[in-house]
Amino acid sequence: MQQGQYIDGRYKIIKNIGSGGMANVFLATDLILERDVAIKVMRYDFSNDSDNIRRFNREAMATTELNHQNIVPVFDVGEDEDYYIVMEYVDGLNLKEYIQEKYPIPYHKVIDIMSQVLSGVEYAHSKGIIHRDLKPHNILLNQKEQVMITDFGIAVALTENSITQTNSLLGSVQYISPEQAKGSISSVKSDIYSLGIILFEMLSKEVPFDGESAVSIALQHFQKEIPSLRTFDPDLPQALENIVIKATAKDPRHRYSTAAEMRKDLMTSLRPERSQEEKYVIPIEKENLEETIQMKPITAAVADPSLPKTYSTEKPGQEQAVERVEETPQPPVNPVPYEPEKRKKGKPWWVIFALLIIGFSLIIFYVTSQPATIRIPDVKGMTEQQAVRTLEGLNLNIGEIQEEPSEDYDRGEVTRTSPQVNSSVKERAEIYLFISSGQELYPVPDLVGQDIEKARQELNDIGFTVEEEGEASSEYEEGRIISQNIQPGEEVLPSETTILLTVSTGEPAFDLRDLSNYSRQGVLDYAAERGLLVDIMESYHPSIPAGIVISQRPAAGTKLRAGDNLSVVISLGPEQVESESSEEPEESEIEEELISSTVSVTIPYVANMREESEEDSDEPESNSSESPNAVEIYIEDVNHDLSTAFRSFTITQDTTVEFNLQLRPGEVGTYRIVRDGEVLEENTVTG
């Protein structure tokens, strides 16, 4: 197929992007939807083979059932001289290329990628579909590093022994499970083994088993122990290596039961509580000590001697196909002289009749003894006991029973079966049951010190409900979390949990002092004490002495926090008119050094009840209410005397006030506090 060629009048070929055992893959443009797509077209050498056409159609049907963000979706299936499948075009690298380019990959990134792979495989398994050919070449990463698995359909389209016409194992033998290498039927755990090998390669950049021929590699899969990853990376967490060890166990019974179980183990592998984990040791059962493993022979293809001795199932630049295994020549056998058979007498008719009866009986026995085909019933939502009774009542055997988290089914109820509901199986077939362990618990993260916006988004994504309350704090910046109502690490159901976060509103607020009568130095000292940014301006004033505050902004009593701005105007004194007769100032005009003495007084509030009458009423009703206290402050210093009130105000509660007296060194000043006409306090202050 050439560049510019059209398929079905809709898809225009751009270029070839890969070749496989059954099909060629092209980048094309969908002229109707105006988008790039990948098209898998049946190879020419398979086009006239009805078996392969059937497999190709089965592949298409299988892939259309898979709808998951980590599986490449199929858009269209058709025939235009050749059979084809139209899929989403993934612009990026395959995992093999990613490993070669990015190694060493950070542990958290390895976990993120493998978690996505396991999620896609878990979904396919829930649909009763086993991949059978998982390898880095079939795992794609787009530009956003989202993982997408391809070629699920090829796995379904294979025959039981997975042998192509070239006698090559489909896919790379470096990733197949021991049971696949021996020619046994693949299972969910075969995919898990392949995932373990892929994880090994992500952590080491190497495959655990390699060799010059497919047979030598296949033998290693069930004869050799997997190498220790610590030889490649001495700092690798043991919990992470343990996942590889368990996933690649030779005996499928010792592997993870499901991709979900492996994914759950993977997601917790870097937690602090697993940092001292011991190395996982695969159980050795007694019968395995005496067992001799025999491999089924991988025989050479002889149907078509014109075929090449090697045949590529990978796209260019990837692993080459498994080599053909030639039959070993047998030693010549001496011919036996032919002797004519002696003529025998004809058999009596009753012997022939008896043989016919026996033959018919054997045929009837064979037909009636074959197991019946049974359609798996829907047992979802049943208890384990109910499901077992239902399946055993149909003469089906119960395989492994596994627990898995579920949001749709209560604890103890069946979530799914494998094979899936409505699948056709033979009598006595094993059915795997998956039982709900309830909704998945999630450990509450430690959020103290984090930014509230980021933490809120993280919690909402998980499913938590978030509530917030503000609190002033000198320790945490504004917008940082001070505390949380649920301890970090506690496992809860996100959908049923509300987390209350206490968020810093910044430094505690305080009431700005009245800076009247403060000197410049007094203002600077106060601003430094409170962490305020002060701006000082100067101006002449006819009555306020030089060096004393004329005004301030904000006003006294305003709520401020450290870092806020304060502006004050300092008096330059009365504006002087220059005298022509004298250039030197008189001694009295020389500003003397003054001492600013701060006084702090708490004035108690006394409740006074006042009577009010309503004039509009025929019978006036007397209403009582509390009245404020009138307060006057008198001071005597260099600038004031006791004849005039320095400050006048009202209070409705106990109130603390501060004021300054400007005194010469050794001079005595006086202050007087009057409340509602009565002298509350009178004292002296020495400068």
Q: Which residues are annotated as a binding site?
A: 40
Catalytic-residue membership of 30? no
Which residue type, as a one-letter code, is found at position 286? K
Question: Helix 95-102 to helix 107-126 angle, to the nearest 10 degrees?
Answer: 170
Return the CA Rg of the chain.
45
Burial degree of 34 (CB within 10 A; 0-12, 13-18, 19+): exposed
Three-state DSSP state, 178: helix
Burial degree of 127 (CB within 10 A; 0-12, 13-18, 19+): middle
Burial degree of 229 (CB within 10 A; 0-12, 13-18, 19+): buried
DSSP strand E in 437-545: where? 442-443, 465-471, 481-484, 491-492, 498-504, 510-511, 533-539
Binding residues for ATP, as ranges, are 40
Active-site hit among 30, 80, 112, 133: 133
Three-state DSSP state, 465: strand
What is the 8-class DSSP label of residue 648? Answer: E
Asked if the peptide bond before residue 554 counts as cis, ω within 30 degrees of 0, the response is: yes
Tell me the C-alpha distance between 446 and 434, whole Å. 33
Tell me the C-alpha distance between 174 and 206, whole Å. 11
Tell me the C-alpha distance between 335 and 667, whole Å. 144
C-alpha torsion angle, residues 244, 248, 252, 257 (rounded to 10): 20
Give the chain's end-to-end CA distance (angstroms, integer): 105
Tell me the C-alpha distance between 661 and 132, whole Å. 93
Tell me the C-alpha distance between 581 and 578, whole Å. 9
Biggest alpha carbon–alpha carbon distance for the chain: 172
Burial degree of 52 (CB within 10 A; 0-12, 13-18, 19+): buried
Q: 3-state secondary structure string, 565-591?
A: EEEEEEECCCCCCCCCCCCCCCHHHCC
Three-state DSSP state, 82: strand
Tell me the C-alpha distance between 634 and 670, whole Å. 8
What is the 8-class DSSP label of residue 340? Answer: P
CB-facing half-sphere around the CA of 479: CA atoms within 13 A: 3
Query: What is the distance, to the nearest Å, from the Cα of residue 257 to the centroid of all Cα atoms in its chain?
Result: 23
C-alpha torsion angle, residues 350, 353, 354, 356 (rounded to 10): 160
List the catalytic residues.
133
